[in-house]
Chain A
Amino acid sequence: MANISIKQVRKSYANSEVVHGVNLEVSTGEFIVILGPSGCGKSTLLRMIAGLESVTAGTILIDDKPVNDLEPHERGCAMVFQNYALYPHMTVAENIGYALKVAGLPKMERATKVSSVAASVGLTEFLDRRPGQLSGGQRQRVAMARAIIREPKVFLFDEPLSNLDAKLRVQMRQEIRRIHNRIRATSIFVTHDQQEGMTLADRLVVMNKGVIEQIGAPEDVYHHPASIYVAGFIGSPAMNFLSGQISATPAAAMLANGERITLPAHVAAAHDGKLAQIGIRPEALSIVPAGSGSFDAVFDFAEELGNARLYHFRFEDLTVSVLSADKPKVKAGVPMGIKVAMDAVHLFDAETGKRLLARGIVLEPVPA
Chain B
Amino acid sequence: MRRAYYKNNWIAALLVAPQLIIVFTFFYFPTAQALYWAFTLEQPWGGGNTWVGFDNFKAILGDSLYWASIWVSIVYAIGSTTLAVGMALTLAIFADRQLSGYKVYKIGMIWPYAIAAPAVGLAFRFIFSPGAGIMMFVNQMFPEIWNPVENGNQAMAMVIIAGAWKQVAYNFIFFLAGLQSIPRSLIEAGAMDGARVLRRMRDIQLPLLAPTFFFVLVINITDSFTDSFGIVDTMTAGGPSRATNLMVYKIFNDGFQGLDYSGAAAQSIILMLLVIALTFVQFRYIERKVHYT
Q: Which residues of B contact A (CB under 8 A)?
A: 183, 185-186, 188-196, 199, 203-204, 207-208, 210, 291, 293
Contact = CB atoms under 8 A, between A and B. Distances in A.
Contact of B208 (A50, A79, A88, A146): A88
B193 A98 contact: yes
Contacts of B192: 50, 52, 72-73, 77-79, 99
Contacts of B293: 88-89, 132
Contact of A102 (B194, B208, B210): B194
Given A81-B189, A88-B291, 15 more contacts: A72-B191, A72-B192, A73-B191, A73-B195, A79-B189, A85-B183, A86-B189, A87-B190, A87-B203, A89-B207, A89-B208, A102-B193, A102-B194, A102-B203, A146-B189
Contacts of B190: 87, 98
A102 B193 CA distance: 7
Contacts of A51: 191
A102 B204 CA distance: 12
Contacts of B210: 89
A83 B184 CA distance: 11
Interface of A: 50-52, 71-73, 77-79, 81-83, 85-89, 98-99, 102-103, 132, 146, 150
A142 to B, nearest CB: 11
A88 B293 CA distance: 7
Contacts of A98: 190, 193, 195, 203
A99 B208 contact: no
Nearest to B206: A89
A60 to B, nearest CB: 16
Given A88-B208, A102-B199, A83 B193 contact: no
Nearest to A82: B185
B12 to A, nearest CB: 39
A86 B188 CA distance: 11
Contact of A71 (B191, B203, B291): B191
B163 to A, nearest CB: 32
A24 B23 CA distance: 69
Given A98-B203, A132-B293, A87 B186 contact: yes
A108 to B, nearest CB: 20
A187 B88 CA distance: 43
A83 B190 CA distance: 14
Given A73-B194, A99-B194, A85 B199 contact: no
A52 B191 contact: yes
B291 A89 contact: yes
A37 B18 CA distance: 56
Nearest to B200: A102
A81 B194 contact: no
A128 to B, nearest CB: 15
Given A89-B293, A132-B293, A83 B191 contact: no
A103 B193 CA distance: 9
A146 B210 CA distance: 24
Given A89-B291, A102-B199, A73 B193 contact: yes
Contacts of A88: 186, 208, 291, 293
Contacts of A85: 183, 185-186, 188-189
B191 A87 contact: no
15 contacts: A50-B192, A52-B188, A52-B191, A79-B192, A81-B185, A82-B185, A85-B188, A87-B189, A88-B186, A89-B208, A89-B210, A89-B291, A102-B193, A102-B194, A150-B193
Nearest to B291: A89
B188 A87 contact: no
